[in-house]
Amino acid sequence: MSVETTPAGILFIIVLMALVTLATRYGGAFVMSFVRISPRIESFINTMASSVLIAIIVPMAFSGDAGALAALATTAITMLVTRRALPAIAAGILAAAVVRLLIG
């Protein structure tokens, strides 16, 4: 189904996009409200939670350029050494900028 991008059509598309996105924000908690949270389920969702981050970052590293790799590697090392997030993020961004300046 195609919708013409007239003002009314665009409004319709944006409303549907907002509803679909809202459904993703609400859906997980809604479904969980019917699940009895046993220790096993709790273990599942805790492991899943930290895996979400990994599943976002790893393909980002593989598809990214040298700057992206430098950023992630620098953030990882700084974070593991200093245990502080803001310096780690700043160092990562700086690394991306420097590598892109040198290579790009």
- Segment 29 to 48, residues that bind other proteins, using CB under 8 A: 29-33, 37, 39-48
- Could you tell me the smallest distance in angstroms from the CB atom of residue 51 to other proteins? 2
Side chain identity at residue 46, one-letter code: N
Q: Does 103 participate in binding other proteins (rule CB under 8 A)?
A: no
Q: Is 17 helix (H, G, I), strand (E, B) or coil?
A: helix
Within 39-98, which residues bind other proteins (CB under 8 A)?
39-60, 62-64, 67-68, 71-72, 75-76, 79-80, 83, 85-86, 88-89, 92-97
CB count in 10 Å sphere of residue 74: 21
- Could you tell me the smallest distance in angstroms from the CB atom of residue 16 to other proteins? 6
- 8 A C-beta contact, residue 3 and residue 9: yes
- Could you tell me the smallest distance in angstroms from the CB atom of residue 29 to other proteins? 4
Q: Is 37 exposed, middle or buried (0-12, 13-18, 19+ CB in 10 A)?
A: exposed
Q: Does 102 participate in binding other proteins (rule CB under 8 A)?
A: no
d(CA 72, CA 61): 7
Residues contacting other proteins: total by CB under 8 A: 77
